[in-house]
Structure 1
């Protein structure tokens, strides 16, 4: 069995998928398998993948379209490696990425290994947040973290209801459920991923709508879960309020701003930031 399973979910990205696959094939480290999960594509994805299947380490599986989180979960179920790396189909691992992850794993078998990544030429990743247990530094971009397969399944995998921030939420559950500390986590403090972000006005507006849907789900789920601090679901409501503000929906902005305010300790930022965003977008449209 390989040490590391790389999982690439893809949907109608035949034009960029070969770049992601080749970034795995070109790794200096060889003890890996690659599972490509076709999430119901209707383009040339299958033909593109067929060109790589001469390599016995590469596997192709197909499912009806269920979304990226369900595709990642399906890939994890098929994986035989002890560790999992999720890679988006428009991103690329750097040639030495799996070697560096493997070196960190060999020094103590951590639950998670985080790395930095390139966004363009800018180095990003490994930031701490009050959302995580003991302010552990994390990277939430697929390809910039490697985690044990048993940890992934113990925390329930990806939340398939989420259309946005699913990696970030996965790390919240990992950190809170397992009270992760420095002995459980290892870091590669330089980039192991080329993150290829692209943005259009259409994508920006769709992301806002997806954020609203996803953070509403998180607000309801976390509010019912006594395991987590109240500040988490109040933050989720705050994100919903800010995105409604960005879409210019004042009544819903006010409603979710009220939900996000902890009346026992008023948070000025939570109260006014969504309204400031609303007013800004009234003056300066996207």
Structure 2
């Protein structure tokens, strides 16, 4: 991926090295540990994010939106290290893509913040550890990531800088959904349906974020010529590496599509490629007609 000459975004909060006061004394777990906890959550009918929080720190109390405030110091602006610069450049490219897309739709794109943290952090959505993985919080319109996640991604067989860019593009895709009202509508519908039907809507939401990541990549390459040989394969491989069926298989569980919340490897790869080829939001209707 050609990124070193790209513009860096100022919408970065760098909390790395500071952690969360609530996470002191907590234990660290890797991505495989995360998979195990998520699967335990599925089996028990519990919230996997809550389980992750309980593992991450003994004093953790997770709420939904509107969690406790954080006393962490924050460095804003453009990071100076290589990993931070990369994330900042990818964020800037999403801004440069989604701003004109929203203008063409007659709307306004509100640029999200990207929070870089180490080990644990607080958000409006609650306390999270690095084991939670990257996530988007609709309540404060911020994407959170411990960049160490990319090492865990490599352990799953997904390497390369554009595999990492795909992850960030997916999380920004959730921000696009939030701005368009899709997230609230899905939450409203899930409150009045069965767990199986609610999971199906979660899958549709995640696959649409994959498609939006493809839309971003399409326009970013058109505008900035960012893609190099092998980049698309890196992103597709990353999408396939974190499919629900593959993660369940890795954990030794029987594959259960009714429990999927993100989609199968095949689905994730297909929807990313659909957005990449079309560059059109209309092609990303994962919810059907």
| Fold shared, TM-score > 0.5 on shorter chain | no
Greater fraction helix: 2
TM-score (norm 2): 0.27
Greater fraction strand: 1
**Bigger RCO (CA 8 Å, 6+ sep):** 2
TM-score (norm 1): 0.27
Structure number with larger C-alpha Rg: 1
